[in-house]
Structure 1
């Protein structure tokens, strides 16, 4: 009996460790990027955008929707900057604060927002935050907690970085279509709201 109990005590920790490793592996392994939606691709091309890249699949948290915080967080691990932009993100002003990088964000209706991308250093790690007009983006869209967004990047002819927010995705990050009137925007508003030179 003692031998059996001893074996059981030895086996249980191994099983627990194996389960923990599996959970950890799931966080490390990333899914392949989704196919670029035709609507997004056509709109970027229409605006003479280029160098289209998939940035990430983003799930919105309450902190992203808090109008008082006014920022959308992005992980620093993702590499979507050129060398000039990387240097700009590390520049510090006279008060010792990081200046940030001026970018353009296109919401799901392709409305244009001028924003600043800044690196925030915290105790354990760092994040990038899209700030300034994020409050306005929230007011124009009906984003909800746990909502999924696919984020794409592109550049205009002046090499300025743009981010495109696509909300027509399911939980796996694949494209899905929504016929809701909330996402409709007339052509006049669309032409007036975006203009990538």
Structure 2
């Protein structure tokens, strides 16, 4: 006996069935067993969803605790050696752009970039002209860049627009910066901006605030951070 190809006597295999029952009574029994199975399955699915939600919440809380534990309050001033280096270059308008812990997406060698979310980066470190330029698809700015070691090189500053947010990214030589400066997961860094010359060229400097001791020097693969699982349009 089968109903619409969905319920059949197979649903009550292993259950003693009074063979004197009418087809209608058997149908009721099948429906009752199928309902019980459905409820049990639904209960398991809800249990799994609660487990997943708790897991996501724990990870979110862990990240918030990490930020609270590693980001000094108030943030320290720019170290003297950087002040002297910037002064020697004739730098002015020195200001901190962002302070953040390095997450897996920042030391993933496949991504090769440092992300600076709009919501965390200081507003106004770019001129109106620079902001307009970066807002155009695939446009970037080449900026002189002082590494923690004091080495000065050039980096590419870009902007990525995602579905719900946007981030600035520093790329080109980022993997080399990680390796040569021994940076790893959860190290806390600051990005500072300053201006040089009559044309007020934008320059950036990277300062290590604290080191976790987890020196990976870059790695392949890894979990994403602010842009995890989000498609983006690289500007």
Q: Report the TM-score range of the alignment, normalised by the length of the smaller protein.
A: 0.5 to 0.7
Scaled by the length of structure 1, the TM-score of the pair is 0.64
The separation in 2 between residues aligned to 1:126 and 1:90, in whole angstroms, is 10
The higher-RCO structure (CA 8 Å, 6+ apart) is 1
Alignment of 1:73-88 (within 5 A): 73-77=115-119, 78-79=122-123, 80-88=125-133
Paired residues, what number? 141
Scaled by the length of structure 2, the TM-score of the pair is 0.54
Q: Offset at 1:31? A: 5.0
Alpha-carbon RMSD across the aligned residues, in angstroms, is 2.5
In the other structure, the counterpart of 1:129 is 169
The separation in 2 between residues aligned to 1:148 and 1:81, in whole angstroms, is 23
Q: Which runs of 5+ in 1 are unaligned?
A: 1-22, 93-97, 172-197
Evaluate the alpha carbon distance shift between residue 168 and residue 124 of structure 1 in structure 2; reply closer, same or farther with a 3 A threshold: closer
* Selected match of 1:48 from 86, 90, 94: 90
In the other structure, the counterpart of 2:201 is 160
In the other structure, the counterpart of 2:79 is 37
In the other structure, the counterpart of 1:115 is 155
| 1:151 and 2:157 correspond | no
Which structure: larger Rg? 2
In the other structure, the counterpart of 1:91 is 136
